[in-house]
Amino acid sequence: SINMFDYVGAILSYLIIAIALFGGKFDNMSTTALGGEISRNSFFAMYLINCCTQLIDLSVDVTNMAGYVHRILSGMWAPLSGEVIRFLPFDPKVVFFLPQKTFVTDGTLRQQLTYPCENLLLYGGHSEAGDEDEKLLGLLDTVGLANLCSRVGGLDSPVECKWEDMLTPGEMQRLSFARLFYQRPQVALLDEATSALDTSTESKLYSICKDFGITVSSVGHRRSLRQFHDFELNLDGEGGWEFKKIED
């Protein structure tokens, strides 16, 4: 939506100049003077419209406060003021962060699944090297990506195209959950991590988190997420908040 406002704003700035131009306001000017006048007026029009779109940006940002909290807790963003107190280290086997848009590297399928773990023979901290391929393939099947390995030619085959161009948004989010289940952390922070998935797949993935003993903290707009949580934190966008136990 913000991109739409920026796009419309750019068109509007030219329309403002066109009204004065075709209305004859600049008829007595030379070509050189006319070019300078149009340039100055365009600048002021674009500046004023940009100020408006920035205000719209701010109003949208306030609604995303919960997502920003996740980013600050994960260390992705540094707070401008105040203090962040964490009682757990942000090691992927302790706390794992799943954003709405999955981060992908340029590596192989194996590297995508084990990201950000550098030791590719480590599975949840307690695996043997000989079982690695089988477990990775099992993870793909668990999250509904059983055919992905054959699509790219194997776990270790170089992938020429970009992963974000090859996978749909839903497949990207399934890949994120495969990473989560690979690490099996104590805590998972999910920021709209199932927004591109249907509710049945969402339910399945959250149930697996519960089976693995992963404590989940989610940011989301779907009411279907409430059934997978015990407590709810509501932010009103004005500095107020409410923390309550989910009863229904």
145's CB contacts (< 8 A; 6+ apart) are: 171, 174, 175, 178
pLDDT at 43 over 80: no
Closest CA to 46 of 36, 35, 57, 38: 38
Nearest C-alpha neighbor of 189 from the set 66, 105, 87: 66
Q: How far apart are CA 42 and CA 47, in angstroms?
A: 8
Picking from 28-32, 128-132, 168-172, which range would have the lowest pLDDT averaged per residue?
128-132
The Cα-based distances of 212 to 6, 108, 181 in angstroms read 45, 26, 8
Rounded CA separation 170/144 (Å): 10
Read off the pLDDT of residues 203-220 as tens digits, 9 standing for 90 and up: 999 999 999 999 999 988
Mean residue pLDDT of the chain comes to: 79
Query: 230 is written with which tokens?
Result: 């015990």
CA-wise closest residue to 216 among 224, 208, 112: 208
Residue ranges per structural domain of the chain:
4-64, 86-245
Q: Specify whether the CB–CB gap between 182 and 139 falls below 8 A.
A: yes
- Confidence grade of residue 4 (pLDDT, cut at 50, 70, 90): low
For residue 184, give every residue at least 6 positions away whose Cβ sits within 8 Å of its Cβ, in sequence order, or none.
93, 124, 125, 212, 214
pLDDT interval class at 6 (50, 70, 90): low
Calpha distance 228→186 (Å, rounded): 16
Q: Residues 169, 196: contact at Cβ < 8 Å?
A: yes
Give residue 12's pLDDT.
64
For the chain, give the number of residues: 248
Among 220, 247, 215, smallest CA distance to 231 is for 247
Longest dimension (CA), the chain: 84
**CA dihedral of 217, 86, 175, 110, whole degrees rounded to 10:** -150
Tally of CA atoms within 13 A in the half-sphere of 177 that contains its CB: 31
Question: Is the CATH code 3.40.50.720 the one for domain 86-245?
Answer: no
Write down the pLDDT at residue 121.
47
149: phi > 0 → left, psi -120 to 50 → alpha, else beta; which?
Answer: alpha
